[in-house]
């Protein structure tokens, strides 16, 4: 009996058409597309906007950016650039408990000063930003050299067209730097150029002799003698800046805190790029009323000078005026007399 389903051997065969029998409908020359389209007319008359080859916040650095060293270097650079007043201390084997005690006392004293300033209606409260920070001495020294000696002139954005210029293809300002640290145009502190500038051993900083051994710093966001006074009286008490009395602040006289303070040595300060020893720092701390006080003194002095000067100038003018006026009166009298005489004639 033949099978019910009729077998069709041609349908079972694998479909592999012979190239000669392809249907003609697939190859229309008019439908063929070019693989590379012609560039738009804009691109042929203007340059293509540059492409940023790296994340904007991470320009290529000389040293590997992921290691702790590099990040500390960057952090110290920004600290040195942003704080005009830095105190340098040496810490000799301070224990963790003692360091904790010292930090606590410092924070409390600063917060107290903050509250005083608030009640006086003054602004600029820095208590949260001033703290004792232990630093890696070598990295700090290196970043200080970068801050002092690396002065990048020119900006990576100098070439860029202004975003409001209608000829500008994009308003995004993109630096025209390559993705390699060799590029000379980088201006950040971790660039190879910065490293080269800082590794010139002929250049010396004033702070160099201080930067050895175990160091800690206290950085201030502004030169504020009031805060400096408090910090010095807590960390390095002296005659001018006595430590708080035992009755006022018994915690400060705990043995742990005092033992820690014995091991903390005040070495010097960096005030707006200049280096002061401990006496110089005390002098800065002794400025009454801070920058406002200095300004008031200056204004007072200038006002006195101005008043004197005005008096002197005015005196000359007045005497001249008096002379001229008297002469005028005199002439008027004569003229008046002449007229009268004419009338009478």
Question: Binding residues for another protein, per CB under 8 A?
Answer: 90, 92-95, 208-210, 212-214, 259, 262-263, 265-268, 277-280
Residues 6 or more apart from 149 whose CB is under 8 A from it?
197, 198, 200, 203
Measured CA distances, 48 to 42, 81, 247 (Å): 9, 37, 74
Judged by CB, which is closer to another protein: 89, or 252? 89
Judged by CB, which is closer to another protein: 244, or 268? 268
CA distance 334 to 259: 96
Residues 6 or more apart from 166 whose CB is under 8 A from it?
none
Judged by CB, which is closer to another protein: 94, or 257? 94
Q: Which two tokens stand for residue 94?
A: 């301070």
CA 72 to chain centre: 16
What radius of gyration, in Å, describes the C-alpha atoms of the chain? 40
Burial class (CB in 10 A: 0-12, 13-18, 19+), 43: exposed
Q: 187, 147, 145, 156: which is closest to 61 by C-alpha?
A: 187
Which residues share a beta bridge with 215?
A: 90, 135
Judged by CB, which is closer to another protein: 64, or 255? 255
Q: Give, for 269, the enclosing helix (H) or strand (E).
A: strand 264-271
Q: 239, 267, 261, 307: which is closest to 109 by C-alpha?
A: 261
Judged by CB, which is closer to another protein: 220, or 266? 266
CB of 200 to another protein, least distance (A): 19
State whether residue 132 is helix, strand or coil: strand
CB of 275 to another protein, least distance (A): 8
CB of 281 to another protein, least distance (A): 11
CB of 78 to another protein, least distance (A): 26
Measured CA distances, 162 to 113, 221, 234 (Å): 48, 34, 53
Judged by CB, which is closer to another protein: 222, or 265? 265
Length of the chain: 345
Q: DSSP characters for 77-95?
A: HHHHHH-SEEEEEEE-S--
Judged by CB, which is closer to another protein: 78, or 262? 262
Judged by CB, which is closer to another protein: 208, or 333? 208
CB of 231 to another protein, least distance (A): 17
Q: Which two tokens stand for residue 130?
A: 């001033």
Assess contact for 256 and 85: CB atoms under 8 A. no
Judged by CB, which is closer to another protein: 95, or 246? 95
State whether residue 264 is helix, strand or coil: strand
CB of 102 to another protein, least distance (A): 14
CB of 91 to another protein, least distance (A): 8
CB of 244 to another protein, least distance (A): 22
CB of 272 to another protein, least distance (A): 17
């Amino acid at each position: 009996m033949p099978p019910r389903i009729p077998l069709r051997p041609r349908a079972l065969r694998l479909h592999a058409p012979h190239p000669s029998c392809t249907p003609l409908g697939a190859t229309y020359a008019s439908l063929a597309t070019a693989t590379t389209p012609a560039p738009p007319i804009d691109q042929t008359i203007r340059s293509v906007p540059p492409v940023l080859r790296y994340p904007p916040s991470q320009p290529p650095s000389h040293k590997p950016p992921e290691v702790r060293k590099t990040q500390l270097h960057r952090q110290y650079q920004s600290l040195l650039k942003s704080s005009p007043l830095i105190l340098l201390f040496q810490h000799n084997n301070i224990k963790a408990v003692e360091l904790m005690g010292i930090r606590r006392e410092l924070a409390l004293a600063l917060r107290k000063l903050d509250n005083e300033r608030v009640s006086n209606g003054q602004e600029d409260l820095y208590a949260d930003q001033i703290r004792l920070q232990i630093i890696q001495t070598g990295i700090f020294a290196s970043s200080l050299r970068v801050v002092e000696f690396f002065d990048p002139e020119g900006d990576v954005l100098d070439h860029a067209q202004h975003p409001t210029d209608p000829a500008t293809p994009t308003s995004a300002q993109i630096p025209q730097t390559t993705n390699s640290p060799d590029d000379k145009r980088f201006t950040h502190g971790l660039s190879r150029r910065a490293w080269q500038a800082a590794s010139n051993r002929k250049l010396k900083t004033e702070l160099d002799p201080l930067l050895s051994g175990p160091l800690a710093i206290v950085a201030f966001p502004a030169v504020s003698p009031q805060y400096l006074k408090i910090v010095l009286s807590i960390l390095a008490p002296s005659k001018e800046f006595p430590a708080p009395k035992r009755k006022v602040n018994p915690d400060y006289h705990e043995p742990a805190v005092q033992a820690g303070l014995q091991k903390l040595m005040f070495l010097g300060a960096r005030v707006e790029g200049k280096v002061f020893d401990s006496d110089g720092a005390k002098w800065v701390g002794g400025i009454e009323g801070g920058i406002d006080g200095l300004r008031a003194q200056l204004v007072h002095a200038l006002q006195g000078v101005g008043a004197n000067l005005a008096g002197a100038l005015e005196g000359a003018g007045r005497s001249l005026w008096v002379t001229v006026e008297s002469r005028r009166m005199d002439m008027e009298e004569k003229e008046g007399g002449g007229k009268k005489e004419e009338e009478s004639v």
